[in-house]
Amino acid sequence: MAVDPRRTALGLGRFGLGARPGDLVRAEPIEEVLRREILSGLVPLPGGPDLSAAATLLSALQAEEQSRKLARAASPDAPMPEGPPAPPIQERIYQAEVAARLGLARDAPVGFVERLVWFWANHFTVSVVRGAQLRVSAGAFEREAIRPHVLGRFRDLLLAAATHPAMLIYLDNVASVGPNSPAGQRQRKGLNENLGRELLELHTLGVDGGYTQADVTALARILTGWSVLRDGHAEGLPGATAFRRGAHEPGPVTLLGRTYLDIGPEQLRLALDDLATHPATARHVAFRLARHFVADDPPPALVARLTRTFLDQDGDLSRLALALIEAPEAWDPVQRKIRSPQEFLTATLRGLALAPDPRMVTGGLAALGQPYWSAPAPNGYPDDAGTWASPEGMRARLDLAARTGQLAAGTDPMALAEAVLGPLATDETRTALRRAESRPQGVALVLMAPEFQRR
């Protein structure tokens, strides 16, 4: 099969993290490269001395907050130590998690799997805006709940995400208690329906998926008792997820017309399994996947095909990814999607082979409105041009491109254009580059070119 360089350039941007110098010259068709990445079944795992399990991190945070409180209480008048205070644990961990992701993004040969990780982490949003517990555990959530399952089954991904400590904290399930459970009777506590609602609306069926308020309440009942243990609790490792029987609502629960008996933690697994295989879930996931990779308003035929794959293959997410790249609609030569800030910045670093400085990247992403794991609400970051190609957003991209042009001082703009745009570069872009009055300006023009902003 002859290699079409145009298709290579298109595929690297649409399904990958962007071309690095040399990537466009490939001996193999890009579809084959993408397919092999999925079939390998390998999901890179970020590593580092600080990247511990969520439970460890949450209990370390609790310990640090406790010892700070004790120190303050013991000597309230103690002079401030010299120099800037050490950053709190949640800042250190967050920076280490981001730095590890930047390393993965730099080293990925193509990065289709990494893009799937981003997609699913946004589908199951947990956000650091909620406070220190989320700041310390959002990266661990992505490592523990998302990565192990992005090439596995949706039902496993769903269960892992729904019961991860970070999600239980983020959507308030830690405090939700069955009103008729022993704990509920003793403490006069009760339901919190936040997680139950978002599981139906955002994670599975979708808002038009045909559920009612009664179903939200039913799922909230099933979720009662799923909590995160504190230090000193006898039931398990502090910071870890635990099913607290004494807080679980007793009795059978009917959700979407099916009754789930009170059989302990298995009740939730059965309910989530049924939600994971529901046709509305298949449609919802297929639509979001097509919208993310192909077009804000994805072709209905593509959505229908992905829906069928999801249902026929029992929610096998590798099969779903393969169906996506096998679909002719996914190879539309028109670049319809605007790169998200995260995609734009990552593609910039890869194209220029710049060593990423985590603090600068974090600052750049904040300026563009998309820091890691910081969506303002549980529905995650938006996925459309109306959001990311806003006037202020484009203005901020321009500023960032100008700054990057200065940082990449020695880079030849024409060479950069060949490396990242290749056959996608239009005559107008080439002309603009020839006329650039300086190298930094030329580099900024490559980064701002429509062929680079879009994918």
Partner 1 sequence: MTASCNVPPSRRAILGTAGALFAWGAIPRTAYAAPGARDARLVVVILRGGLDGLSAVAPLGDPAYADLRPGIALTRDGPAAALPLDGFFALHPALPTFARLYAARQALVVHAAATGYRERSHFDGQDVLESGQPSPGHTASGWLNRLVAALPAGEGIPPRTALGVGVVPPLILRGPAPVLGWAPPRLPRASDELARRVLGLYQARDPALAASLAHGLDTDALAKGGPKAAGGLRGIAEGAARLIAADDGPRIAALALDGWDTHADEGGATGRLAGLLGGLDGVFSAFAEILAPRWSDTAILVVTEFGRTARVNGTTGTDHGTGTVAFLLGGAVRGGRVLADWPGLAPAQLHEGRDLAPTLDVRAVAKGMAADLFGLSPAILGRSVFPGTEALRPVGGLVV
Q: How far is the CB of 323 from partner 1 (least distance, A)?
A: 26
Task: Supply the angle between the helices 112-123 and 317-326 in degrees, to the nearest 10.
Answer: 120
User: Which helix (H) or strand (E) is 228 found in, with range?
Assistant: strand 226-228
Q: How far is the CB of 420 from partner 1 (least distance, A)?
A: 16
**Among 273, 326, 399, 418, interactor with partner 1 by CB under 8 A:** 399
Residue with tokens 């997820």: 241
**Among 3, 261, 301, 398, interactor with partner 1 by CB under 8 A:** 398
**Coil, helix or strand at residue 27:** coil
Q: Does 131 bind partner 1 (CB under 8 A)?
A: yes
Q: Does 309 bind partner 1 (CB under 8 A)?
A: no
**Among 43, 394, 414, 423, interactor with partner 1 by CB under 8 A:** 394
Kindly state the number of chain residues that form the binding site for partner 1, as judged by CB under 8 A: 75
Q: Does 180 bind partner 1 (CB under 8 A)?
A: no
The encoded tokens of residue 141 equal 């959530």
Q: By C-beta, is 40 or 406 nearer to partner 1? A: 406
Bridge partners, residue 228, by sequence = 241
Q: Does 237 bind partner 1 (CB under 8 A)?
A: no
Q: Does 153 bind partner 1 (CB under 8 A)?
A: no
Q: Does 365 bind partner 1 (CB under 8 A)?
A: no
Q: Does 446 bind partner 1 (CB under 8 A)?
A: no
* 322-332 burial: b if 16+ Cβ within 10 Å, else e: bbbbebebbbe
**Among 43, 96, 104, 129, interactor with partner 1 by CB under 8 A:** 129
The identity of residue 20, as a single letter, is: R
What's the DSSP call for residue 259?
E
Residue with tokens 């549980």: 378
CA dist., res. 451 & res. 455, Å (int): 7
C-alpha to C-alpha distances, 125 to 19, 310, 321, 389, nearest whole angstrom: 28, 21, 20, 22
Question: Which range touches partner 1 (CB under 8 A), out of 139-147, 152-160, 377-385, 410-418?
Answer: 377-385
Q: How far is the CB of 438 from partner 1 (least distance, A)?
A: 10
Q: By C-beta, is 38 or 280 nearer to partner 1? A: 280
CA dist., res. 380 & res. 119, Å (int): 10
Report 60-119 residues binding partner 1 (CB under 8 A). Answer: 62
Instruction: Provide the sign of the torsion angle of the four alpha carbons 374, 380, 383, 388, taken in this order.
Output: negative
Q: Does 191 bind partner 1 (CB under 8 A)?
A: yes
Q: Does 429 bind partner 1 (CB under 8 A)?
A: yes
**Among 190, 265, 299, 423, interactor with partner 1 by CB under 8 A:** 190
Q: How far is the CB of 43 from partner 1 (least distance, A)?
A: 29
Neighbours of 277 (CB within 10 A): 17
Q: Does 207 bind partner 1 (CB under 8 A)?
A: yes
